Chains A and B, each alone.
Chain A
Amino acid sequence: MQVETFSTLQEASGAVHDRAQFLAGGTILMRAVTYGDQSFDTIVRAQQVDRSIGSDAGGLRIGAGATMADVLASRDVDFLHPVARAIGGPQVRNMGTVGGNIFARNPYGDFAVALLALDAQAVMADGRTMPLGDLLATRERPGGLVQAVTIARPESGTFRFRKVSRVKPKGVSVMSIAAHLKRGDPRVVFGNMAPTPTRSVGAERALANGTDAGAIAAACSACLEGLAPADDPLATEWYRREVAPVHLKRLLEEGARY
């Protein structure tokens, strides 16, 4: 094992390769180091990390190095507080970052679920931007590090998040669901219901024109379309299929409708 430390994310980005992993909060990576993961032998660090959270012309921008605690401390992203609060215990939230969450494999990645529902754009270290969905699809072979994510602020009451876990208050999720309910272009994303956070094509179609009882019923019955849940120690595929509509219904029935 060796550690390579760079001053900027850009430099670090160039040093990441097949057997070199970037270290952010370390809540996932350090376990792999300690437990002897043989798939990499180099840790890449950057001394300057972008932890800033703020709004600019394009909307809201969250540095990839922002921790869950940073998110909770920022009023700009108050709608994301329920998401950040649902991740781990206080120590994990003090350490785990937004950037790391995008690359967190199941059963983790709750924040990425929310970001995908908000149609986030990833700003890469080399300045490129790409839709978060594209990045998630290729995250096992990422082309460089993530500098920040940008999102448009959702209209009040249109963003919902729900984490389903067996152990309260900090169990990892059996599934998580985030929805951005915008007439014409609703986004409904499930976590832990496919290898990466994934949009429910069926639910989105059913909710395109309204969220009345009929639309909600249609969304629930079609919600597994586009998803591919699997067995893991937390729940079986069967269980996930059975309860996904139930939890989606609860999520859709709370708060404002259109």
Chain B
Amino acid sequence: MKKQNLGFGLGLRTDHFHHVIEHKPKVDWFEIISENYMVGGGKPRHYLETIRQDYPIVMHGVSMSIGSTDPLNMDYLKSLRTLAAEVQPAWISDHLCFTTIGGVNSHDLLPMPYTQEALKHVVERIKIVQDFLGRQMLLENASSYLTYQSDEMSEWEFINQICQQADCLMLFDVNNIYVSARNHGFDPMEYVQAVDPNRVQQIHLAGHTDYGDYVIDTHDHPVCDPVWQLYKETIKLMGPVSTMIERDDNIPVFAELEKELDHARALSQSALVARNLGANT
């Protein structure tokens, strides 16, 4: 079951703590990187405690390693559950990928082979995690730079099956779809059209770096036009979805991100109009 639509949010970054507390900007919600707050105390925890009085928070993790053949890291899951009890997020997300193998953490979102074996493995683990956390979780589609020989289905078939079989939700990263489409030569619209809209709880928008023959998901640029276009098509198809902009590097002043977020609002608005008109004809 999808939760409420939070509107338009931003990733909460250290550089903007003071600005957010002082100016209480018109942002509907913030997403935090869970791992950055899994410390005893100090500045980030202190600021988060203040900011969460005024804004809904969602938690986004990078270390669950849900697709790994290593055992689930129960210490990590306990820290995540403890943090969630304190932060009371609207929801918790991580990525459809593996990060740790043989105890070595790559600190990267490594792509899964899209096989029946991997599907079964991920579904089992999500069920365990959801039981442990006592809530449904969101899985995000990661960008990828390679395709496995062993693939038996497309990424969107794989992710649809996971959401259905594990009864989890999806964090739909429009930029990652664009990046992967460019890197693997598929039509991103095919992906957008295939995903079950009833599972899409949240959208990520971000910038990337274009190397011509391939694209890298760097989160250090403004969102580019083709990604905006794809976002508009996504909303047209899916209806309103909580949307946010991820910026992790080369972080600009807050006002610049607000401007980008306003653009997302406007695009979503016009996409919804088009959607309603389409429905009436």
State yes or no: do A and B come from one complex: no
Residues of A with Cβ closer than 8 Å to B? none
**Which residues in B have some Cβ–Cβ distance to A below 8 Å?**
none
